[in-house]
Amino acid sequence: MSNKTLYAAVEGYKTVKDVYDFDIAGGDILYLGLEGFVYMALVFILEALEDSGKISSFGSGEGSI
């Protein structure tokens, strides 16, 4: 983000792009947002499986844990 004037000079842009433009930091911010939702959904799924007892019996040979 601090090198946005350098990016403008190298790419040949006449104006400096905004910090949140997709080429500067927008893609990274979008990826972080999507990744947050995916991992939060994964946590909820694992917690639901743990509450139902499927995960605790998965690694154990015993029938009731």
Predicted confidence band at 9 (pLDDT cuts at 50, 70, 90)? confident
Contact 25, 1 (CB under 8 A): yes
pLDDT of residue 32 exceeding 90: yes
Contact 24, 17 (CB under 8 A): yes
Tell me how many helices (H) and strands (E) the chain has: 2, 0
pLDDT of residue 44 exceeding 90: yes
User: pLDDT: is 26 or 58 the higher one?
Assistant: 26
Q: Report the pLDDT value the prediction gives residue 41, as an integer from 0 to 100.
A: 97
pLDDT of residue 30 exceeding 60: yes
